[in-house]
Structure 1
Amino acid sequence: MIVAIGIFIFLFKPCDVRSSSDILIDVVPISSNSLQVTIHNNSPFPVSFSENYHIEAKTLLLWHEVNLRSSAFTSLGHELSPGGSYSISVDYSDIYGVLSPGQYRLVKTFKYNNISTSFAGYFSIK
């Protein structure tokens, strides 16, 4: 008799988030379903970005994308000059529903210096 034991390891591939002071994202929870997001362009280049974002949750030591309920975003583009800032309130409840207590990051993709890269702002839900 042969007994096979299988071990399954689930690896979540998080977004490749760049760690740099060129672009900083401050995220502050302002209610049970919304965030104040402020983007700071500390680079010497203009930065362009859209309204799109996604939220990742930290599980043990790994980040993984939170499941979407909807993927409707306003299709607006923004350009931020060097040294500039942009603030927006984000209501994530339609897209993600209620977030459980834990550590999260809001990830956005930016184009600057002729490259596209992602940066994150970190926040907690208590």
Structure 2
Amino acid sequence: MKRNMNILVCVAISFILLVGCGKEVNSNKISDMELTTYETVNNFTDVTMTIKEETVSTTGLTVVFENNSDNHVIYGEYFSLEEKSNNKWYQVPVTIDGDYGFNDIGYNLTSGENEEFIVDWEWLYGSLHAGEYRIVKDILDFRNTGDFDSYYVAAEFTILN
């Protein structure tokens, strides 16, 4: 009986150690996070970004852009994530020490067009814990070279670990 108890204790300790050595999950305290820097989002009339719900995971998702305006818009690879707490949005801290960047490329979204964009944030934010989040992307109302207005579009999603 005592031997079985020792084996059970060893198995339990091994399990705890294995779980503790797993991949780090982004679980920062809201009190340590900074408030959003975006004063206004989703104010580009007839241009929206939504979440493709079945793609949401702890490390990424797919967004869908819809351009129902008469404008030619451009978006890039840049994005940021924010977490909601007490009806306020907070910046999710990046897990990278030092500098990082995004490919500087512009994707065209012409009038009447819809397009999906896959976002993988594991390299930048790690794996998210359960909570309410939003992704924010910049989008340009492009008229001509050097003639454009910048907007921010946001879409909310929930992680249910």
Q: TM-score, normalised by structure 1?
A: 0.81
Q: 1:71-86, aligned counterparts within 5 Å? A: 71-86=100-115
Q: 1:41-60, aligned counterparts within 5 Å? A: 41-60=67-86
Q: 1:14·1:63 contact (CA, 8 Å) conserved in 2?
A: no
Higher helix share: 2
The one-letter code matched in structure 2 to 1:47 is V
1:19 is displaced (CA, Å) by 4.1
Partner of 2:35: 12
1:11 is displaced (CA, Å) by 7.2
1:74 is displaced (CA, Å) by 2.4
Q: 1:22·1:42 contact (CA, 8 Å) conserved in 2?
A: yes
Give the distance between the partners of 1:21 and 1:104, measured in 2 at CA: 23
Q: 1:39·1:87 contact (CA, 8 Å) conserved in 2?
A: yes
Is residue 58 of structure 2 the alignment partner of residue 24 of structure 1?
A: no
Q: 2:58·2:129 contact (CA, 8 Å) conserved in 1?
A: no
Q: 2:132·2:159 contact (CA, 8 Å) conserved in 1?
A: yes
Is residue 131 of structure 2 the alignment partner of residue 102 of structure 1?
A: yes
1:26-72 Cα deviation digits (max 9, x unpaired): 11344331201111111110001111111111011101111112433
Give the distance between the partners of 2:87 and 2:117, measured in 1 at CA: 29
Give the distance between the partners of 2:47 and 2:125, measured in 1 at CA: 25
Q: Which moved more, 1:64-73 or 1:16-25?
A: 16-25
1:20 is displaced (CA, Å) by 5.3
Q: Which moved more, 1:27-36 or 1:84-93?
A: 27-36
Q: Which moved more, 1:19-28 or 1:74-83?
A: 19-28
Q: Following TM superposition, where does structure 1 have runs of at least 4 consecutive aligned residues deviating by more than 6 angstroms? A: none
Q: 1:18·1:119 contact (CA, 8 Å) conserved in 2?
A: yes
Is residue 60 of structure 2 the alignment partner of residue 37 of structure 1?
A: no
Identity of aligned residues (%): 27
Q: 2:64·2:115 contact (CA, 8 Å) conserved in 1?
A: yes
Q: TM-score, normalised by structure 2?
A: 0.65
Structure 2 unpaired stretches of 5+:
1-32, 143-147
Q: 2:56·2:159 contact (CA, 8 Å) conserved in 1?
A: no
Structure possessing the higher radius of gyration over alpha carbons? 2
Higher strand share: 1
Cα RMSD over matched residues? 2.0
